[in-house]
Structure 1
Amino acid sequence: MNGDWLIRGRDGRLSVYLPSGDAVLCRAERAPGGPWGAPRTVGGDQELHPVLAVGHGADGYAHLVSWRPTVQGESGLVHSTHFRPLLAALDWNPLGHPNKKGDRTGTPAVAVDAKGRAHVFVRNKGGGISMLAQKEKGGWDPWRDLKGRDVQEEPAAVTGESGLVELYAAAPAGILHWRQEKPGTPPVLEEAIEATARPGTLHALATSTDSTTLFYTDDAGDLCAWRPGTKPVTLLPAAGPGPVAAVRCELDGHDCTLLAQRSAGGRVAFAAYPTELESAGAWWTESGPRLPSDATVSLTVDEDGRVAAATLSPSTGQLLLTRRKDEPGLALVAWRKV
């Protein structure tokens, strides 16, 4: 999966999205903070490949993108919108292929701009990035080639507080950054830095009015933070080999960035620091039970302003959830199986 798969919907309910066989499933709270419903298939009965990208707009709607098989040896991208967790999502809508036809070219990424338009990014056959964007009044613009070279799997898409869409992607020679200059225009390649990023470890977060921050693990095994226009900063050694999750939240009256990652020992590790003040330092604190090696973690903030964290193991289907206690610090309630 690519993107934050634990989200708070427009109605305040938390929901999770996960690939399951040749389908995508959604599980959601029956009421904010209440019990969870059973898994439901999203987007109808189309057969899908086991890949999913999730984007979440300021309007609370979830945008889901996957690949589906078309003819022998070829695939096409599909998109669905989920307006509220307890409603049925729209049927999968075909988006085509960044090179008109062919097999899967990479894991997509999705960001949603201030007007609720989804922007879908995916690596193309040439090794660059292609983008497809929704029109404000329905339908989709044509595919656009955003350039780039030797782009690796799982680019990270994000929408800044300005409502402008940005994209980060790793390549052998460094990290690339695209940004919209104004709403409704294609993002342009603005900056590239010489930095090594392990494939599949990129996560982007809006961290101020003017900035987004990219988190990634470098070849030395350190978790780094980069804001375009500055130099990358080493935060702390990565807790484990997989992707990091990040969310902005208020902790004891301070604007903080909370990070979470499955540790090498198998538990979830958390670290927090004042947003955009990496020099303040951060350190990991582990929580919860030992998880399967394929388990990932996702973070969000619930309707009451409390941090919520979930872990999901594709091999077992086990979903665990915790929330911050209503007390100072980052104390969490006991992890529970959903």
Structure 2
Amino acid sequence: MNGDWLIRGRDGRLSVYLASDGAVLCRAERTPGGPWDAPRTVGGPQKVHAVLAVGHGPDGYGHLASWRSTVKGEAGVVHSTHYRPLLAPLDWVPVGHPDKKGARTGVPAVAVDAQGRAHVFVRSSTGALGMAAQKEKGGWDPWRDLKGEGIVAEPAAVTGESGCVEVYAVGTGGLHYWRQREPGSPPVLEETLDVTVRRGTLRALATSAEHTTLFFTDASGDIHAWRPGDKPVAVLPAAGPGPVAAIRCELDGHDCTLLAQRSASGRVAFAAYPTEQESAGAWWTESGPQLPDDAEVALALDHENRVAAATLSPSTGRLLLTRRKDEPGLALRAWLEV
């Protein structure tokens, strides 16, 4: 899964998404902070591949993207919108292929602009980055070639506080960065950072009115924070092999960035620091039970703007959840299976 698969809907309910056995499943709270429903299939009866990208718009709607087989040996990207956790998502809608047709090329990423339009990114067969964007009045614009070379893994897409979409990807020469210069315009390749990045460790977050921050793990195993136009800053050693989950939240009256990652020990590790002040330092604190190797971690703010953390194992479907206590610091409640 690529993106924030734990999201808060416009009615305050939390929901999670999971790719499983040719389908995408959704689980949601019946009431904000209450019990959870059983898994439901997203997008109708159509079979999709075991990859999933999730984006979340300012309107609270979830946007999902995956691949679906078309003819033998070929596939196309599909998209679904989920308006409320307890309503059925729309059926999968074909978006096409960055090369017009061909086999699946990679895991997509989704970002949603200030107007609620989804932007789907995926590498093409030539290693460039392709993008398709929703039209303002429905349908999809043709795929655009955003250039870039040698893209090797899933991109990380994010919407800045300006409402403009930005995207990062690892390719030839290091990290590539694209951004929209104004709403509705195609993202432009702005910068390439010469750095070696561990595959599959990108996570982007809007951290101020001016900046988004990309978190990645370098070849030495350190997590770095990079805001384009500046140099990357080492935050702390990675707790485990995968990407971090990241969210901005208020801790004891301070605007903080909270990171979470499945650690090498199998538990969830948390670290927080003042937003965009990596020099303040951060350190990991582990929480919860040991998890399967494929367990993923996600963060969100619940209906009371409390931090909620979830872990989900695609192999078992087991969903665990915790929330912040009403106490100073980052004290968490006991992890519960839902």
TM class, shorter-length: over 0.9
What is residue 81 of structure 2 aligned with on the other side?
81
Residue 267 of structure 1, CA deviation: 0.2
Residue 243 of structure 1, CA deviation: 1.1
**2:252 is aligned with 1:252:** yes
Residue 317 of structure 1, CA deviation: 0.9
Opposite residue 263 of structure 2, the aligned amino acid is S
Residue 15 of structure 1, CA deviation: 0.1
Does the CA-based 8 Å contact 1:172-1:196 persist in structure 2? no
| Distance across 2 between alignment mates of 1:88 and 1:122 | 26
What is residue 202 of structure 1 aligned with on the other side?
202
What is residue 151 of structure 1 aligned with on the other side?
151
**2:58 is aligned with 1:64:** no
SS in 1 for 2:2: coil
What is residue 213 of structure 1 aligned with on the other side?
213
| Distance across 1 between alignment mates of 2:167 and 2:118 | 13
| Distance across 1 between alignment mates of 2:162 and 2:95 | 27
SS in 2 for 1:279: helix
What is residue 162 of structure 1 aligned with on the other side?
162
What is residue 32 of structure 1 aligned with on the other side?
32
Does the CA-based 8 Å contact 2:58-2:116 persist in structure 1? yes
Opposite residue 285 of structure 1, the aligned amino acid is T
What is residue 321 of structure 1 aligned with on the other side?
321
| Distance across 1 between alignment mates of 2:170 and 2:225 | 14
What is residue 227 of structure 1 aligned with on the other side?
227
Matches within 5 A, 1:74-153: 74-153=74-153
Residue 173 of structure 1, CA deviation: 2.1
Deviation string 1:221-251 (CA, Å, 9 cap, x unpaired) is: 0001000010000111000001110000000
Deviation string 1:118-142 (CA, Å, 9 cap, x unpaired) is: 0000000110100000111111111
Provide TM-score, normalisation by structure 2. 0.99
Deviation string 1:49-78 (CA, Å, 9 cap, x unpaired) is: 100000000000000000011111100110
| Distance across 2 between alignment mates of 1:68 and 1:259 | 33
Residue 172 of structure 1, CA deviation: 4.6
Does the CA-based 8 Å contact 1:223-1:236 persist in structure 2? yes
What is residue 191 of structure 1 aligned with on the other side?
191
**2:221 is aligned with 1:243:** no
Long gaps (5+) in structure 2: none
Deviation string 1:249-281 (CA, Å, 9 cap, x unpaired) is: 000000000000000000000000000000000
RMSD: 0.5
Opposite residue 40 of structure 2, the aligned amino acid is R
| Distance across 2 between alignment mates of 1:330 and 1:43 | 37
In the TM superposition, structure 1's runs of 4+ consecutive aligned residues that sit over 2 Å from their partners are none
What is residue 312 of structure 1 aligned with on the other side?
312
| Distance across 2 between alignment mates of 1:174 and 1:140 | 30
| Distance across 1 between alignment mates of 2:255 and 2:195 | 28
What is residue 269 of structure 2 aligned with on the other side?
269
| Distance across 2 between alignment mates of 1:154 and 1:249 | 26
| Distance across 1 between alignment mates of 2:324 and 2:221 | 28
| Distance across 1 between alignment mates of 2:152 and 2:278 | 26
Aligned residues: 338
| Distance across 1 between alignment mates of 2:271 and 2:245 | 10
Does the CA-based 8 Å contact 2:66-2:78 persist in structure 1? yes
| Distance across 1 between alignment mates of 2:174 and 2:234 | 16
Does the CA-based 8 Å contact 1:51-1:66 persist in structure 2? yes
Matches within 5 A, 1:5-44: 5-44=5-44
Residue 153 of structure 1, CA deviation: 1.1
Opposite residue 223 of structure 2, the aligned amino acid is L
**2:262 is aligned with 1:291:** no
Opposite residue 131 of structure 2, the aligned amino acid is M
What is residue 178 of structure 1 aligned with on the other side?
178
